[in-house]
A and B are shown apart, each in its own frame.
Chain A
Amino acid sequence: MTATDHEQDTDRSTPSRRPRRVRGAIASVISVFGELLITAGLILGLFVVYSLWWTNVLADRASHKQSDEVRKHWASSAPKGPGKLDTKDGIGFLHVPAMKNGEVLVKQGTEDTILNEGVAGYYTKPVKSELPQDKKGNFTLAAHRDGHGAKFHNIDKLKDGDPIVFETKDTWYIYKVYATLPQTSKYNVDVLDAVPKESGKRKAGRYITLTTCTPVYTSDYRYIVWGELERTEKVDADRTPPPEIR
């Protein structure tokens, strides 16, 4: 501050003490308001960090633990007959090479509490999913696009003909993608039908349906991928994966 500034300051302050104090009060109110705005901005930024990073950390941790448990359970139980699917711990693993995300544990239900653990869930409502071993029907799955493991993040990379492999204790189910629906209403439950007409099918068969939200980072719409069972393979003693996912 220069000498002249200082003089002017003292000059003005003597006759007008009161307005200065008022001005000071206004200034501090504005500065508190400004600091609150900055704080709000920082909190929103932190929320983005939480959504896109921290939830993934937590979900990957949870899903790894559960996957290990399922594998251990499979290894320890006697290999006899077709075996009942264990729906509590998870019924198997989804391998989608085009999504480049390794294996995804599949559990029953599509509630947030389940999907938030970094797994895919099969629908129990509004339309109950069939399971892969059922003679006919639609195996319908949902998983997160972003955050919480983001297991279906790369769903848009799936093209017709890409394999979707589902691994259970004793069978590999190899599906081939035959239709995608890049954007549909979130109320479009018809995509889960046993015969999903929108995919172009008219006859009962063994289908798989993947659903997640779209566009990326929002959930205004749903992205749907349909596949049809091509063949099944027995799991051998070494759990050798089928050629599609080798």
Chain B
Amino acid sequence: MYGWIWRHLPGNTWVKALISLVLVLAVVFVLFQYVFPWAEPLLPFNDVTVDQGMAAVR
């Protein structure tokens, strides 16, 4: 998979490395900006309040 991407990037090794770095940073940005904020409330790590269980209240 990564080998395939590498082979399809244009330019010489340095250009490829630079493009790869940009791609990695773009992926990290998308994860931090959109994916993780979306996923976080769905995961049971950070509920701090006491409640009767939302299902029971609604």
Contacts and interface: CB of A to CB of B under 8 A. Distances in A.
B51 to A, nearest CB: 5
B56 to A, nearest CB: 8
Interface size class of chain B, counting residues whose CB lies under 8 Å from the partner chain: 20 to 34
A214 B57 CA distance: 23
Interface residues of A, number: 38
Contacts of A115: 48
Contacts of A191: 50
Contacts of A143: 48
Given A43-B31, A50-B32, A51-B40, A144 B48 contact: yes
B1 A188 contact: no
B28 interface: yes
A148 B48 CA distance: 12
Interface in A25-48: 31-32, 35-36, 43, 46-47
Interface string B40-58: 1100111111111100010
Nearest to A213: B48
Given A43-B31, A54-B32, A125-B57, A35 B48 contact: no
B53 A187 contact: yes
A167 B44 CA distance: 33
Nearest to A192: B50
B39 interface: yes
Contact of A144 (B28, B46, B50): B46
B50 A148 contact: no
Contact of B49 (A54, A110, A146, A218): A110
A146 B2 CA distance: 35
Contacts of A110: 48-49
B45 A189 contact: no
A211 B46 contact: no
Nearest to A188: B50
What 7 pairs across the A-B complex have the smallest Cβ distances?
A219-B47, A50-B36, A142-B49, A35-B1, A213-B48, A110-B49, A32-B1
Given A51-B40, A184-B50, 14 more contacts: A43-B31, A46-B28, A46-B31, A51-B46, A110-B49, A126-B52, A126-B57, A142-B48, A186-B50, A189-B51, A217-B45, A218-B45, A219-B44, A219-B46
25 contacts: A31-B1, A31-B3, A35-B1, A46-B28, A46-B32, A47-B31, A50-B31, A51-B40, A110-B48, A110-B49, A125-B51, A125-B57, A126-B50, A126-B52, A142-B49, A144-B48, A146-B46, A148-B46, A184-B50, A186-B49, A186-B51, A211-B50, A212-B48, A213-B46, A219-B44
